[in-house]
Amino acid sequence: MEQSTANGSAAASNSKLAQLIEKEKKSKIKWGYLWAIIGAIMWGTMYLPGVAVWKIPDFTDPVFPKGTAGILATVVVIAIGSGVVKSIITLGFWDLGESKLSDVPKAIKHWKISRVMLFTTLLASPLGVGGYQLATGLVGGSFAAASSLLAGAFAGIGATLLFKEKMSKKAAIGITAIIIGGIFIFNPAGLINDINSSGGGIASILGYIGGFFAALTWGLEGVFVSRVSDFYDYAMSMTLRAVFDLFLWVFFCLPLALLAFGTDTIFGIMAHIYVHPAFWLWEVLYVCGFSAYVGMYRSFPLIGSGRGMSVSSLYVIPGFLSLYFFMGEAIGWWIILGTVIAIAGTLYMYSESGESLADGTRVVEDDELTTALA
Amino acid sequence: MRDEDLTMKTRLVKLLYDKGEAWDYELVEEIKRVSGKNTEYWTWVIRYWVMELENSNIFKSIEADIDDGSHFAKDKVLYKVKMTKLGKERIESLL
């Protein structure tokens, strides 16, 4: 009798343990998605200031070269201003606040890891942000947001091929739905029409290529950052991203711009833009949106970069809403339809993650892995 | 690289790599001790890292128990963890 009671209570505590483990697993996945959604909302808030800074330069001023050259030079000047604000806020506000500042020099010095972040930043920032700025400046804010929606798909494909991230059939369906939603938001008929009919043809094609590059490089950013996350806290990845960003724009892009457009032009544009208090105000707001990286980078270890990037590309929704409310951009039916499809894809993906991510985000050759606590 | 030159999260991976296997609260205590970060806040930050690492298949849990409140909080799950093959390969390539 005593024996069976003892067995009974052991079984009860075992089932309690199993329940608690189950609960923690679910909560990890729930938080993975929540962080990605928080990231998406922050991205959305970043969106309006990102468009607004482009209203500051007065392109009729003789300091700007005509056409595309003027836009390119302005991209560099705006990115450097943005990089300065980003580094100050990340280091002085975020890392100081979380008392992680002492880890920053170590994170930079561990070259085998930090070089991955440097490469990632090169991809995502001069190429990605530059492409994005081109898309915003040459084609339009809505287009820029829509094209970068594809980043999630690139992340999913990249992470699966390069680092064996788990990609179930259902997750792939979810990501595909987000892409289809993106294509609707793209308004393909309008795009083809734009390309065919545009008077400044080359400029707008450059804008389209910029949008595509932004998506590709941001997708790869997700893939590499999720790998770096195995060794660095999200705050370190975010800090390196900001500091390397400034470094690359100042020491790599600025000299190129000086060569290409001339010292007088670049410093003239800097003087033209940086004296506007409004520029710095928009940059601070823009960089507050940079805290989207908190959400995104935190989601990667929990649900993987493919799912994390895809969900965070839902940022077009708050992005479009803010453009609609503040800038009076029209919302067509195709944007609404695309949005519905993209959200449905996200929910579908969420519904299956409990199963497919139960034993972690990666495919590993480790037969003992699932046995002990299954 | 010397252990004290590693960031806290890297050092956590290195610690388990050296130990072979350990309970998560042992790892948390050890990292808090060596880094001089003694507050409650860091207990949860480091526990969260252990959980992330397990989720990314760098660690794997081999045993679990219910916390009676003496380590993290009552009814939290305590995990005994070990490096996976992937985790070992990664840390060896990075040090």
pLDDT in tens, A172-228: 888 888 878 877 766 666 666 655 545 556 777 788 888 888 989 999 999 999 999
Instruction: Provide mean pLDDT across the span A299-326.
Output: 83
- For residue A287, the Cα-to-chain-centroid distance in whole angstroms is 13
Minimum Cα–Cα distance from B94: chain A residue:
A112
Confidence class of residue A260 from pLDDT cuts 50, 70 and 90? very high
Which of A67-71, A78-82, A134-138, A194-198 shows the lowest mean pLDDT across its residues? A194-198
Q: Which CATH architecture has domain B3-87?
A: Orthogonal Bundle (1.10)
Polymer length in residues for chain A: 374
For residue A373, tell me if it sits in a domain: no
pLDDT band at B5 (very low <50, low <70, confident <90, very high): very high
> Looking at the domain assignment, is residue A20 inside a domain?
no
Residue A241 pLDDT more than 80? yes
CB A172 within 8 A of CB A156: yes
- Closest residue to A361, CB basis, from B9, B57, B84: B57
- The answer to whether residue A51 sits within a structural domain is yes
Q: Which of B9, B60, B93 minimises the CB distance to A366?
A: B60
What's the whole-number mean pLDDT along residues A284-302? 88
pLDDT at A43: 83
Lowest mean pLDDT, pick from A101-105, A302-306, A346-350, A369-373? A369-373
Give the domain ranges of chain B: 3-87
* pLDDT cut 70: percent of chain A above it: 87
* B1 has pLDDT over 90: no
Alpha helices (H) in chain A, listed in sequence order: 2-52, 68-89, 96-97, 103-109, 111-122, 130-134, 141-148, 151-163, 169-186, 188-197, 201-228, 234-248, 254-261, 263-274, 277-290, 292-303, 305-312, 316-322, 333-356
Q: How far apart are CA B88 and CA B75, in angstroms?
A: 31
Return the pLDDT at A188: 61
CA B40 to chain A, closest CA, distance in angstroms equals: 13
Residue A238 included in any domain: yes
Output A149 or A118, whichever has higher pLDDT. A118
Per-residue pLDDT at B39: 92
Q: What is the ipTM of this complex?
A: 0.93
Tell me the chain A residues in contact with residue B55 when contact means C-beta distances shorter than 8 Å.
28, 301-302, 357, 360-361
Q: Chain B: nearest CA to A360, how far in angstroms?
A: 4
Residues A263, A76: Cα–Cα separation, whole Å = 13
Residue A254 lies in a domain: yes
The answer to the question of residue A26 being in a domain is no
User: Would you list the DSSP string of B44-78?
Assistant: HHHHHHHHHHHHTTSEEEEEEEE--SSSSSTTPEE
CA distance B27 to chain A (A): 15
For residue A371, the model assigns a pLDDT of 44
B93 touches chain A (CB under 8 A): yes
Residue A132's closest CA among A53, A59, A193, A200?
A53
Partners of B8 on chain A (C-beta within 8 Å) are: 103, 233
Of A115-119, A191-195, A318-322, where does the model show the most confidence? A115-119
Q: What is the pLDDT of residue B82?
A: 94
Angstrom distance (rounded) from CA A130 to CA A126: 5
Q: Has residue A87 been placed in a domain? A: yes
pLDDT at A169 over 50: yes
Query: A17 in a domain, yes or no?
Result: no
Identify the pLDDT of residue A277.
93
Contacts of A366 in chain B (CB under 8 A): 57, 60, 84-86
Which residue, chain included where needed, has tokens 């959200």?
A: A343
What pLDDT score does A372 carry? 47
Q: Which residue range forms the structural domain that includes residue A233? A: 35-356
CA dihedral angle for residue B8, residue B11, residue B13, residue B18, rounded to 10 degrees: -160
Which chain A residues touch B17 with a CB distance below 8 Å?
none
The verdict on B83 touching A (C-beta cutoff 8 Å) is no
A92 has pLDDT over 70: yes
Tally the domains of chain A.
1
Cβ-based contacts of A360 with chain B (< 8 Å): 54-57, 60
Nearest-CA distance B26 → chain A (Å) = 19
B34 confidence band (pLDDT: 50, 70, 90): very high
- Cβ pair A365:B85 closer than 8 A: yes
Please report the residues numbered 12 through 41 in chain B whose beta carbons come closer than 8 angstroms to any beta carbon of chain A: 13, 37
pLDDT (0 to 100) of residue A4: 43
What pLDDT is stored for residue A292 in this prediction?
87
DSSP letter at A65 equals: P
pLDDT score recorded for residue A196: 58
Choose among A13, A233, A372: nearest Cβ to B61.
A372
* Cβ-based contacts under 8 A for chains A and B: 102
Report d(CA B63, CA B79) in Å as an integer: 6
**For residue A248, pLDDT beyond 80:** yes
Whole-number average pLDDT of chain A: 84
